[in-house]
Amino acid sequence: MQFLDLILKKRDAKALTTDEIRFFVNSCVSGETADYQAAAMLMAIWFNGMNDRETSDLTLAMRDSGETVNLSGIDGIIADKHSTGGVADTTTLIAAPLAASCGVKIAKMSGRGLGHTGGTLDKLESIPGFSTAISMERFKQIVNTSGLAVIGQTKELVPADRLLYALRDVTGTVDNKSLIAASIMSKKLAAGSDVIILDVKTGNGSFLHDYQSALDVAELMVKIGKTAGKEVIALITDMNQPLGNAVGNALEVQEAIEILQGRYKGALADVAVELAANMAFKAEITDTIEDARILIAEKLATGRGLDSFASMIKEQGGNPEVVHNTSLLPSSSKIMEIQAEKSGTISHIETALIGKAALLLGAGRTKKEDPVDPAVGLWMKKRLGDQVESGETLIELHINNKKELNQVHQLIRQAVTVSNQQIQPPPLIYTTIT
């Protein structure tokens, strides 16, 4: 089999066979195929697409390109969740403990984020002492005893995705539905869970800006999961403003803890509760999704979700007292306020610019080796549709380095629109695909 023949076939909009797709993936991982040929194939896929069978074959070939995780030592049905990403999207730190408190086993493997803030690992590692570098055996033990553990993905897990994503990133082929679905689902399938709950974001803070694209990708991932014999549900949720109020690693942990403490509700809490309910339902803790919602609400109200979070923190070397005293988290040296220049309604938030402002403050990274400052970020004081008076605080900046402060101010002024226009914020959860 010659790789050039596969490029020509896809260039001419013909479907690749299962064997051809496996050859494509395996030859990339082995180094037999040059990057320029792999890039040509990705561009051909971007232009001509893949059918559902091809996409499923690509996903499974990527899953099988490295090690897969064996979670057979964990008792019960194992659930996982994945978000396609957004700003202030801290649902894992709320949904996973709530689901675990109901008896769902959550064995989560996460990555480190590129962009406005760190990934789930970076957020958790802002907790004093918390370690995500634990052995697989210890990982399983913690899931069995506490119901929940989070560790980093190994280099051996889905190496094809790292190779192909690096090429997609520099060749303008990231936003292809089949390539997006295969990238996400190959990692989720390799991680070994029985139940996968997907949170697919749409809006100006997501890479799936329009609802139809998000729906197409969500439906495709659910089909792939069914082909692989997994229980998969996808929620399509809004990202036309930051989901939570906190943007920054320790700040997001603080907000998650305050929600688990029952101190306040809001969009972040609502999405996290719905994700947790779907995990409990699909893990057969309840007979109906309505019963699962009632159970999750009860665990939130009684503090059982907070207890689950504290248990995981302790088992992974962190200080569990942080769930009662968030001042133990890293804090910035200075807090500054950005105030409204006029009165009116918050009629638009350009979410990606809010994320970029947090990145400039030091909350995220542009390269994997970049350091992340866990203490910095920002806190939204107003949301879409809120009334604001001139001089009232829009956003609170948590700062350690003033180097990029002028640019941060400019970005936030561009991001938040105050006008006389009355608006109806978009739905928080558009639909659920089963």
The pLDDT score that the predictor gives to residue 29 is: 95
Report if residue 63 sits inside a domain.
Answer: no
Report if residue 68 sits inside a domain.
Answer: no
pLDDT band at 85 (very low <50, low <70, confident <90, very high): confident
pLDDT band at 152 (very low <50, low <70, confident <90, very high): confident
Report if residue 135 sits inside a domain.
Answer: yes
Q: Based on the residue annotation, tell me whether 230 is a catalytic residue of this protein.
A: no
Domain CATH code at residue 344: 3.90.1170.30
User: Of 10, 63, 82, 123, which is the active-site residue?
Assistant: 82
**Is pLDDT of 366 > 80?**
no
Domain boundary among 277, 300, 323: 323
Rounded CA-CA distance 430/213 in Å is 13
Report if residue 93 sits inside a domain.
Answer: yes
The angle formed by the CA atoms of residues 275, 280 and 283, to the nearest 5 degrees, is 120
Contact of 374 with 362, CB cutoff 8 Å: no
The pLDDT score that the predictor gives to residue 166 is: 87
pLDDT (tens digit per residue) in 262-297:
998 899 999 999 999 999 999 999 999 999 999 999
pTM: 0.93
The pLDDT score that the predictor gives to residue 401 is: 86
Q: What's the whole-number mean pLDDT along residues 384-407? A: 95
Closest CA to 78 of 231, 248, 306: 231
Distant-in-sequence, close-in-space partners of 369: CB < 8 Å, separation ≥ 6: none
The pLDDT score that the predictor gives to residue 115 is: 64
pLDDT (tens digit per residue) in 293-338:
999 999 999 999 999 999 999 999 999 999 999 999 999 999 999 9
**Is pLDDT of 227 > 90?**
yes
Report if residue 383 sits inside a domain.
Answer: yes
First-last CA distance in the chain? 38
Report if residue 395 sits inside a domain.
Answer: yes
The pLDDT score that the predictor gives to residue 119 is: 85
**Is pLDDT of 369 > 80?**
no
Q: What three-state secondary structure class fits 202?
A: strand
The pLDDT score that the predictor gives to residue 113 is: 66
Residue found by looking up tokens 């050859």 in the block:
23
pLDDT (tens digit per residue) in 29-83:
999 999 999 999 999 999 999 999 999 999 999 999 999 999 988 999 999 999 9
357 plus 261 within the same structural domain: no
315 plus 335 within the same structural domain: no
Q: Based on the residue annotation, tell me whether 183 is a catalytic residue of this protein.
A: yes
Cα Rg of the chain, angstroms: 22
162 plus 189 within the same structural domain: yes
295 plus 363 within the same structural domain: no
167 plus 203 within the same structural domain: yes
Domain CATH code at residue 21: 1.20.970.10
The pLDDT score that the predictor gives to residue 207 is: 84
101 plus 126 within the same structural domain: yes
Domain CATH code at residue 271: 3.40.1030.10
**Is pLDDT of 88 > 90?**
yes
213 plus 276 within the same structural domain: yes
Report if residue 308 sits inside a domain.
Answer: yes
**Is pLDDT of 246 > 90?**
yes
Domain boundary among 261, 295, 323: 323
189 plus 98 within the same structural domain: yes
Q: What three-state secondary structure class fits 174?
A: coil
Element housing 429 (H / E): strand 429-433
**Is pLDDT of 368 > 80?**
no
pLDDT band at 200 (very low <50, low <70, confident <90, very high): very high
114 plus 155 within the same structural domain: yes
Q: Based on the residue annotation, tell me whether 82 is a catalytic residue of this protein.
A: yes
Q: Based on the residue annotation, tell me whether 383 is a catalytic residue of this protein.
A: no
The pLDDT score that the predictor gives to residue 375 is: 97
The pLDDT score that the predictor gives to residue 63 is: 96
pLDDT (tens digit per residue) in 106-144:
999 887 765 677 789 999 999 999 999 899 999 999 999
162 plus 230 within the same structural domain: yes
- Provide the domain count of the chain: 3
The pLDDT score that the predictor gives to residue 110 is: 85
Token digits of residue 59? 């996903």
Report if residue 431 sits inside a domain.
Answer: no
Domain boundary among 296, 323, 350: 323
Q: What's the whole-number mean pLDDT along residues 233-245? A: 97
Largest CA distance in the chain: 68
The pLDDT score that the predictor gives to residue 54 is: 98
The pLDDT score that the predictor gives to residue 114 is: 58
User: Of 56, 101, 178, 183, which is the active-site residue?
Assistant: 183
Q: What's the whole-number mean pLDDT along residues 177-194? A: 94
173 plus 314 within the same structural domain: yes
253 plus 139 within the same structural domain: yes
Average of per-residue pLDDT values in the chain: 94
Token digits of residue 98? 């709530």
User: Of 80, 89, 122, 161, which is the active-site residue?
Assistant: 161
Rounded CA-CA distance 124/130 in Å is 7
Q: Based on the residue annotation, tell me whether 63 is a catalytic residue of this protein.
A: no
* Full domain range(s) for residue 270: 78-323
Residue found by looking up tokens 């969009």 in the block:
267
